[in-house]
Structure 1
């Protein structure tokens, strides 16, 4: 039986008298790869912040790994990658290896020396995101897509069970985006990491994710990606509040 990793029930969030999320209930199970989609301003980032404990909903409950968020202590089990790195100072004098190893500092403490085992973990995380050839490079010399991979390696180096990514491909070109999603699929299927991905790229992700949740203040759809693909365009447009055509890419399954 797969265990639920995130359980959200009847969540409401109001910001300055404006209801941003209304009666959201959904669960993500162990091993799922969920794409969270919705138009700009639909409440996706607010929902993430609630899951990460950064915002407190007015009503409803969130459980992480079976515990209510108020009691949850094992934050090291959750990795988070924000919208980049766009705000990252590319002149920062650190190699990819150093950036990734900074993901261990919460476990190691700032000034502890890395053991051989720690270094091995850093190398494995770098390899998992396909950056082994770049580990000695300065992070500022990498392309946007490569930098984003380095931040994912930093997020997975401490072996989280859940990885949350907020629009990780903003400003990354289309071909790189495809490779990027392939890499996420690999992390999910081969390393068994449960993934929650917030994205605009509906068409690009439907053949990579296992489940889709579509929110626009309310939860309009939550189910397997194959069911999401079979929705009619007009049903999708109803969710989004404007006309939308879901482009699906060739399936590699």
Structure 2
């Protein structure tokens, strides 16, 4: 059962400040294996800082983070966690690389530069591309793809090392609105069919409620953390108190 498993990420009493500005206050959060967690919150709420602390990009000064049961300071198996940042969509699309080559670059820590991994890791590359529905575009130049297609390629690059968990920071930025639901369907496939634990940071509260298993509402404090059904029962007034301004739920159709 879920409570018997070691959480993939466990955060206890975590606080963080930049100089005198405190951006996170006493965060306690546990992400079980197989979960699809959506983190929502307004701009400046500390979402990106929380991700950086999880990923070891910022040093934990107050509180504790465990990754796969290991204190973060001693954790070394970083290939078990894939990360797609907001900056992925600002990739230099004029760079002369195919989808296969961009995805292969995700193996650089394991196998050197991507031009050297085409044989040994070819199957892993093909499977990663297939998992995000981009097989027909495998030999296409990255610059010829739409924003949504490029973002799928960057997710495949994060998946090629076969991580247990994938963290995505605002992945639909730059994705055409009519393709956003297809994008979330793809994430749902990664979670439910491939068993990858997902953590998604997003502003789109309505869309994530279709797919995620858990929701965390962050605004310096963790105002809510629970299953999606509990989140959907929150009143708009309660959400507005988290955000500091009026919030209206936008319901999206379930496909």
Q: TM-score range by the shorter chain?
A: over 0.9
Give the structure 2 partner of residue 182 of structure 1: 185
Match of 2:83 among 70, 80, 92: 80
* Aligned: 1:120 with 2:123: yes
TM-fit CA distance, 1:238: 0.5
Distance of 2:46 and 2:232 partners within structure 1: 22
- Does residue 36 (structure 1) correspond to residue 31 (structure 2)? The answer is no
- Which residue is 2:214 aligned to? 211
4+ residue runs over 6 A deviation:
none
| Superposition deviation, residue 116 in structure 1 | 4.4
- Which of 219, 234, 253 is 1:250 aligned to? 253
2:89–2:150 contact (8 Å) kept in structure 1:
no
TM-score (norm 1): 0.96
Alignment of 1:208-247 (within 5 A): 208-247=211-250
1:219 CA drift (Å): 0.2
* Ranges in structure 2 where 5+ consecutive residues have no aligned partner: none
**Residue deviations 1:181-213, cap 9 Å, x none?**
110010011111100111011111101111000
CA contact (8 A) 2:6 2:32 kept: yes
**CA, structure 1 residues 212+54, in 2 after alignment: closer, same or farther (shift >3 Å)?**
same
- Quote how far apart the aligned CAs of 1:112 are: 7.7
Partner of 1:165: 168
Q: Which residue of 2 aligns with 1:155?
A: 158
Cα 1:98–1:115 change in 2 (3 A) is closer
Matches within 5 A, 1:9-88: 9-88=12-91
Post-superposition offset of 1:84: 3.8
Task: Identify if the C-alpha distance between structure 1 residues 33 and 238 changes in structure 2 by more than 3 Å, giving closer, same or farther.
Answer: same
Question: Which residue of structure 1 aligns with residue 138 of structure 2?
Answer: 135
Secondary structure of 1:70 counterpart: helix
Partner of 1:196: 199
CA RMSD of aligned residues (A): 1.3
Q: Structure 1 stretches of 5 or more lacking a match?
A: none
1:133-156: per-residue Cα shift (whole Å, max 9, x none)?
100000000000000000000000
Contact 1:84–1:148 (8 Å) recurs in 2: no
The question of whether the paired residues in 2 share the 8 Å contact of 1:20 and 1:43 is answered with yes
